[in-house]
A and B are shown apart, each in its own frame.
Chain A
Amino acid sequence: MATTHNVTMSATPRDAGRRGAGEARAQEPAIEVNGLTKRYGAFEALRGVDLAVPRGALFGLVGPNGAGKSTLIKALVGALRPSGGGVRVLGLDPLRERAAVRRQLGYMPQSPALYEDLSARDNVAFFGGAHGVPDLRRRVEEVLAFTDLAARAGDGVATFSGGMKRRVSLAAALIHRPPVLFLDEPTAAVDPALRARFWDLFRSLAASGVTLFISTHLMDEALLCDRIAILRRGRIIAADTPRGLLERGRTRLTVRRGGVDEARTIGGRPEDLAAALHPYGLAREIGAVAVEAESLETVILGLIGEE
């Protein structure tokens, strides 16, 4: 892996140029969403979403099925016209500045969205061809190696397992070295080993400066992101770092004093723990201290449930 990600995703020359162009641009978030709404008839799939994703972040959009994750991502990649509000990707409007935006973003849809009759190689080359990727043949082999598909590159996608199709789909999203990547539930229905491998790939992409926007309905994956937003019924109900969210949870503190367990529930912040321990000092009679924090999954489910 270490050998593959440096050739694949180092910041593009385009990216470097833009960064040099001015501090102001570099400070600007990679992705901005302002008051975004989307209506399907009377149904509101998105009800005023606000978000900002800094450049180079690995951003997780967490939410149950039907929350509006795919709808939000489609609005960001310019596949969907918002009913209200707006989005910007690298400062550009995905609908008005279509051509410029499309060169800069990669999109992996929720369904594989591949040509079953074509080989993995032909699929990736076809989508790469739309971008006029220089030295396309070499680049295709490079992304196929990065996604561990080199051995099966010539086989028809129809013969692939679900996990392999997802890798082809990821390769197709990476082909033109986009500085911003949108991945819609890339790890849904993927076995645990491949899931871990996928997150390694995402991490290595983020390390090379790519901004990743990843949706998931698996709450535990949120822990692997730099920042998380929780989407529920078309609204963002929390946006924070994984640590910040964990601190919103509760902690079960058990202190054994003089052989007797005293248990209570305190807040999730480190300060809460310190404050709870102050009265005890470090007296000899404290025989044991146990701290049991809520998992991120529990915290998120709690947030989703309490709205």
Chain B
Amino acid sequence: MNRTLRVARRVLQQLLRDRRLLGLSIVAPLAIVYLLKLFFDTMPPGFNVARYAVPVAAFLVHFLAFLLCAIVLVQERTGGTLERQFINGFRRHEIIGGYLLGYLGLATLQAVAALAEVVLLFGLDYGARTLLALFAVVWALAIASVMLGIFVSTFARRESQVFPFIPLIILPSVFLSGLLFPFIPLIILPSVFLSGLLIDSDRLPAWAELLGRLLPLRYANTVIQELIRPGGALGNVWGSLAALGAYSLVLLLLASRTLPETE
């Protein structure tokens, strides 16, 4: 078997063996989407639920892929298994590729589950074509998330020594590691506010709008909003789609630079 596939299989084995992690990564998004439904039900009639439903599902997949990938990779760095892989002949591109494949497998499951729930719960009647396109965007976002996770894992190890406390903000007490503390708020909170998920990008001040452009969720959200707009077409937002792809590419380069094979 190819070494990239071996890494992917091992990453999946790890996720599957850790029931807590697996349960959380599938059940947590579902629960959050359900809570969201309860919340939106309290809104006055005429409130545009659709504007939030799918982007929230996309955000959850993004957040979890990023976080799980970063946690597992930080464990690899500190536990010595990353070094051991290199010494046993795994190459850098094989490890990155394996991580990407493994987490895309998980992200696919999450995306199917979360999108299905959103569509059913909120009674959204998107056509098969739109659904497929939405799925593809979530997938592209997941790729960027994995790259972001690999990239961030480099810094997390050092920062953990500076911030030995664990005030998790988004999913309290869910992710016990604490190794990633400063990066969760640093990447995820801006994502929520600056990506257009909650606030339309064109209502943000210029600096915030620019900052939002540094985050992959912004591009995904733009594409999703267009796809779910009546009469929307992918052709109108190809720029954002391309930006999402470019984002992953740049992060891939950065991520591979942060995985040195020798000290």
Binding site for B on A (CB under 8 A): 74, 77-81, 95, 99, 102-103, 105, 107, 109, 111-118, 122, 126-127, 129-131, 156, 172
Contact = CB atoms under 8 A, between A and B. Distances in A.
Interface string B82-105: 011111111000000000000000
Contacts of A95: 262
B205 to A, nearest CB: 43
Given A115-B14, A126-B6, A77 B79 contact: no
B88 A117 contact: no
B260 to A, nearest CB: 9
Contacts of B88: 102, 107, 127, 130-131
Nearest to A114: B81
Binding site secondary structure of chain B: helix
B26 to A, nearest CB: 17
Given A77-B87, A81-B262, A113 B79 contact: yes
B129 interface: no
Given A78-B262, A79-B262, A113-B80, A130 B18 contact: no
B17 interface: yes
A43 to B, nearest CB: 14
Nearest to B84: A113
Nearest to B18: A117
Given A115-B14, A129-B3, 15 more contacts: A74-B263, A77-B87, A79-B83, A79-B86, A80-B263, A99-B89, A112-B80, A116-B79, A117-B13, A117-B17, A118-B13, A118-B17, A122-B13, A130-B3, A130-B90
Interface in B136-190: none
Interface in B60-87: 79-81, 83-87
A156 B17 contact: yes
Interface in B1-32: 1, 3, 6, 10, 13-14, 17-18
Contacts of B1: 129
Interface of B: 1, 3, 6, 10, 13-14, 17-18, 79-81, 83-90, 262-263
B87 A102 contact: yes
B18 A109 contact: no
A130 B98 CA distance: 13
Nearest to B17: A117
Contacts of A126: 6, 10
A71 to B, nearest CB: 9
Identify the 6 closest CB pairs spanning chains A and B, nearest first. Answer: A113-B80, A130-B88, A117-B17, A130-B89, A80-B263, A102-B89
Given A79-B263, A156-B17, A113 B81 contact: yes
A45 to B, nearest CB: 11
A109 B86 CA distance: 12
Contacts of A130: 3, 6, 85, 88-90
Contacts of B10: 115, 118, 122, 126
Nearest to B15: A117
A201 B208 CA distance: 63
A115 B81 contact: yes
Nearest to A129: B6
Contacts of A129: 1, 3, 6
Most chain B beta-carbon neighbours within 10 Å: one of A107, A116, A127? A127
26 contacts: A78-B87, A79-B83, A79-B263, A81-B262, A81-B263, A102-B89, A105-B87, A107-B84, A109-B83, A109-B84, A111-B79, A112-B79, A113-B79, A113-B81, A113-B83, A115-B10, A117-B18, A122-B10, A126-B10, A127-B85, A129-B3, A130-B85, A130-B88, A131-B88, A131-B89, A172-B84
Contacts of A117: 13-14, 17-18
B89 A109 contact: no
A80 to B, nearest CB: 5
Nearest to A109: B80
Nearest to B10: A126
Contacts of A112: 79-80
Contacts of B83: 79, 109, 113
A104 to B, nearest CB: 11
Contact of B84 (A80, A105, A116, A127): A127
A156 B18 CA distance: 10
A156 B89 CA distance: 24
B62 to A, nearest CB: 24
Contacts of B18: 117
A111 B80 contact: yes
A35 B211 CA distance: 51
A99 B3 CA distance: 14
Most chain B beta-carbon neighbours within 10 Å: one of A80, A111, A114, A115? A115
Nearest to B7: A126
B8 to A, nearest CB: 11
